Amino acid sequence: MAGIELLSDQGYRVDGRKPNELRKIQARMGVFSQADGSAYIEQGNTKALAVVYGPHEIRGSRSKSQHDRAIINCQYSMATFSTGERKRRPHGDRKSSEMTLHLKQTFEAAILTQLYPRSQIDIYVQILQADGGNYSACVNAATLAVVDAGIPLRDYVCACSAGFVEDTPLVDLSHLEESAGGTQLSLAVLPKAEHLALIEMDSRLHQDHLESMMDAATQACKDLYAVLDRVVRDHLQEVTTSIGE
């Protein structure tokens, strides 16, 4: 029979959003007291948890240390219960390794690593429920965790996924929309100056559409930035009032 209709004629997606609308976002910082920084984010049904340790002495091999900057060590893992079918290998498989590398590259661009030579910053991210936009949720959670840890950043790193259906770019794809086949773009930006930290794209896309898709994704990242900023300020408010007392 026919597949799922990703965009109705009236302009509504499967879950009722318009093409440029994000899912409901809820985030909390400082969830783990033993880590230097931690954050938990829910983007729709995708739930990600990020934990940051550092900057600290390099553990393991001394050979990896850089004399003028900190190295960033990332690990991305998915809980076995996060997907529809139980995931047998939480980390170490190809997809996870690729994600780890992407996260590393993203944060190397954003964190002011020159301030901490010969040290190491660890970022661990885990997906608790995967419903599309895994990479974006990880990046957003990691940003909040890094802010919570007090590590200086150039700017927030906001990430969002985008797809393309019938001449309309869709933003913040859910798992259903991702698995319908079709192009998928993941974009990580530093919103204020619109600097791109990472772009990743699957499948094929006509070059005329790339511009509109990137614009839609950048705009979504900016909307996301407003939300994350709000979360950080609220958290700060909470913390300062509790300290004050």
Partner 1 sequence: MLKSKTFVKKTRSGGIMKIVREHYLRDDIYCGSAACSVCPQKDQVLQRDTNLESTLCARPHYLMPDTNVVMHQVDILEDLVISNVIILQTVLQEVRHRSAPIYKRIKDIIHNTEKHFYTFTNEHHRETYIEQEKGENANDRNDRAIRVAAKWYTEHLKNAADKDLRVILLTNDRKNKEKAEESGLLAYTCEEYVKSLVANPELVDRLASIPDNENVIESGRIIFQEHFQLSRLQQGIKSGTYLQGTFRASRDNYLEATVWVHGDNAENQEILIQGLKNLNRAVHEDIVAIELFPKDKWMAPSSVVLEDEGTAEDNIQFSLTFQLKMEIQESMLKNWRQYCGMLSKSQIKEAKKHLFTPADRRIPRIRIETRQASTLEGQRIIIAIDGWPKNSRYPNGHFVRSLGNVGNKETETEVLLLEHDVPHQPFSQAVLSFLPKMPWSITEQDMKNRIDLRHLFICSVDPPGCTDIDDALHCRDLENGNVQVGVHIADVSHFIRPGNALDQESAKRGTTVYLCEKRIDMVPELLSSNLCSLRCNVER
Phi-psi region of 44 (alpha: psi -120 to 50; beta: other; left: phi over 0): left
How does 205-226 read in b/e, with b if 16+ C-beta sit within 10 Å?
Answer: beeeebeebbebbbebbebbbe
- Whole-angstrom distance, CA of residue 167 vs CA of residue 42: 29
208 binds partner 1 (CB under 8 A): no
Q: Which of residues 127-186 bind partner 1 (CB under 8 A)?
A: 131, 166, 174, 176, 180-181
117 binds partner 1 (CB under 8 A): no
5 binds partner 1 (CB under 8 A): yes
Q: Which CB, 81 or 152, lies closer to partner 1?
A: 81
20 binds partner 1 (CB under 8 A): no
Calculate ∠ Cα 124-126-128, nearest 5°. 160
211 binds partner 1 (CB under 8 A): no
* Segment near partner 1 (CB under 8 A); pick from 11-19, 66-74, 108-116, 189-197: 11-19
- Whole-angstrom distance, CA of residue 37 vs CA of residue 142: 9
* Segment near partner 1 (CB under 8 A); pick from 12-20, 70-78, 140-148, 190-198: 12-20
* Segment near partner 1 (CB under 8 A); pick from 9-17, 148-156, 183-191, 222-230: 9-17
Tell me the per-residue interface mask from 36 to 75 with partner 1, x by CB under 8 A, - otherwise: --------xx------------------------------
205 binds partner 1 (CB under 8 A): no
Sheet of strand 25-29, all strands in order from the earlier edge strand to the far edge: 25-29, 37-43, 46-57, 119-129, 71-78
CB of residue 176 vs partner 1: minimum separation in angstroms? 7
* Segment near partner 1 (CB under 8 A); pick from 3-11, 50-58, 153-161, 184-192: 3-11
- The footprint of partner 1 (CB under 8 A) covers 1-6, 8-10, 12, 14-17, 23-24, 44-45, 84-85, 131, 166, 174, 176, 180-181
